Amino acid sequence: MTDAERLALPLLDVIMGYDCNLACDYCTITPAMRTRALTAPAIDRELQQGRREGYARVSFTGGEPTIRPELVALVRRARALGYAAIKVQSNGLAFAHAPNLARLVEAGCDELHVSIHTHDPVAYDRMVRREGAHPAMVAGLRHAIAAAIPVTADVILTTETAPRLAEAIAWLADLGVRRIDLWFVSLTDGNAGNVASMPRMTEALPQVRAAIALAATHAMRVRSLHIPRCLLGDLHAHAFDPGAGRVKVVTPEATFALSHSKLAGQVHVPACEGCLHRAICPGVRTDYVARYGDGEIAAARGQAATMTGSATGSIATRLPIASTFR
């Protein structure tokens, strides 16, 4: 199955629970959220309902799905129900023990996303708050690549990781990774107060451009999930909106379309009007506008800013722009 064929399939995104074997310093999951999870029977019911509604692809994520002992059985169940594509999104630590990954693949998993956070060993262990975790992540990633199924490395863009982005791409290329997704850090829930973790998009753009240029020399696919097309400029084809297709998210608390997630673009600022990309661009995340306003987007469109951010990026700063939500 090609990437295009896979993406065309309606996706059921199952957040099994919020618990994790890491505690990343930028994570949006709060301690209270870590106690919430879907039971295996509840997930089975959602899988059945998803097939009745025409979903043909499923993603198991979290938190960290590999800490759930039912994961292999649920992957096998999804395959038996007729899901044509089955993805597991993980931090990869469990895959350091190769049989763990082999069981998932045998059960029917045919796509992996592995969050590397950053390639630097010291920075990685500090970010995930677990000493010695980096070797396990690397071993897990190597085993994933050897499994001969599509593997995407998820790379987070924070004020700490963005300056080393090109180095991370080079490191991934040497390992054999050919698919990269760039995630822009979010100031929501557990990370709401960590405003220093979020750089301005225009500050990260030179590193993003360098990384994309380097990736092209290795025939690597790079997708940017949160930087709008107007800021990417001539690299706008690398913008990727996961919620553009039919995607239903199932969480321990609620079920909703991915396009309605707080981690998706929701705000079209005044400068968006008349943009060539307006019809397909989901806009900017609310947490980003709350932090930095719309000055960067306005400048890219040759216009004046109409919104200013705040030092805290708090929810309160979003209220005046509520009418721009989709």
Tens-digit pLDDT profile for residues 1-17: 888 899 999 999 999 99
Distances (CA, A) of 200 to 43, 162, 166, 168, 313: 38, 11, 18, 20, 12
On whether residue 249 sits in a domain, the answer given is: no
Q: What pLDDT, on a 0 to 100 scale, did the predictor assign at position 236?
A: 96
Q: What pLDDT, on a 0 to 100 scale, did the predictor assign at position 326?
A: 19
Q: What pLDDT, on a 0 to 100 scale, did the predictor assign at position 320?
A: 30
Domains held by the chain: number: 1
Q: What pLDDT, on a 0 to 100 scale, did the predictor assign at position 1?
A: 83
pLDDT, greater one: 317 or 47: 47
- The answer to whether residue 322 scores a pLDDT higher than 90 is no
On whether residue 325 sits in a domain, the answer given is: no
On whether residue 37 sits in a domain, the answer given is: yes
User: How confident is the model over 257-302, as pLDDT tens digits?
Assistant: 998 888 888 899 999 999 999 999 999 999 999 999 999 999 999 9
Q: Which DSSP letter does residue 81 get?
A: H
Instruction: Provide the Cα torsion 70, 75, 79, 83; round to 10°.
Output: 120
Mean pLDDT taken over the chain: 93
User: With 0-12 CB in 10 A as exposed, 13-18 as middle and 19+ as buried, what is 56?
Assistant: middle
Q: What pLDDT, on a 0 to 100 scale, did the predictor assign at position 318?
A: 35
- The answer to whether residue 22 scores a pLDDT higher than 60 is yes
Mean pLDDT of 294-322: 73
Q: Quick check: 255 and 14 in contact, CB under 8 A? A: no
- pLDDT category of residue 163 using cuts at 50, 70 and 90: very high
Report the relative pairing of strands 85-90 and 247-250 from DSSP bridges. Answer: unpaired
Least confident of 47-56, 77-86, 209-218, 250-259: 250-259
User: With 0-12 CB in 10 A as exposed, 13-18 as middle and 19+ as buried, what is 292?
Assistant: buried
- The answer to whether residue 181 scores a pLDDT higher than 90 is yes
User: How confident is the model over 55-99, as pLDDT tens digits?
Assistant: 999 999 999 999 999 999 999 999 999 999 999 999 999 999 999
Q: What pLDDT, on a 0 to 100 scale, did the predictor assign at position 312?
A: 74
Q: What pLDDT, on a 0 to 100 scale, did the predictor assign at position 321?
A: 28
On whether residue 293 sits in a domain, the answer given is: no
- C-alpha–C-alpha distance, residues 220 and 212, integer Å: 9
On whether residue 163 sits in a domain, the answer given is: no
Q: What pLDDT, on a 0 to 100 scale, did the predictor assign at position 101?
A: 98
- pLDDT category of residue 314 using cuts at 50, 70 and 90: low
Enclosing domain of residue 10: 1-111+121-132
Q: Which DSSP letter does residue 120 get?
A: -
Specify the CATH number for the domain of residue 93: 3.20.20.70
On whether residue 24 sits in a domain, the answer given is: yes
- The answer to whether residue 154 scores a pLDDT higher than 60 is yes
What DSSP string describes 216-253? Answer: HTTT-EEEESSS-HHHHGGGGGGB--GGGS-EEEE-SS
Q: Quick check: 266 and 326 in contact, CB under 8 A? A: yes
- The answer to whether residue 37 scores a pLDDT higher than 80 is yes
On whether residue 193 sits in a domain, the answer given is: no
On whether residue 289 sits in a domain, the answer given is: no
- The answer to whether residue 323 scores a pLDDT higher than 90 is no
Q: What pLDDT, on a 0 to 100 scale, did the predictor assign at position 262?
A: 85
Q: What pLDDT, on a 0 to 100 scale, did the predictor assign at position 299?
A: 95
Nearest to 214 by CA among 169, 152, 179, 262: 169
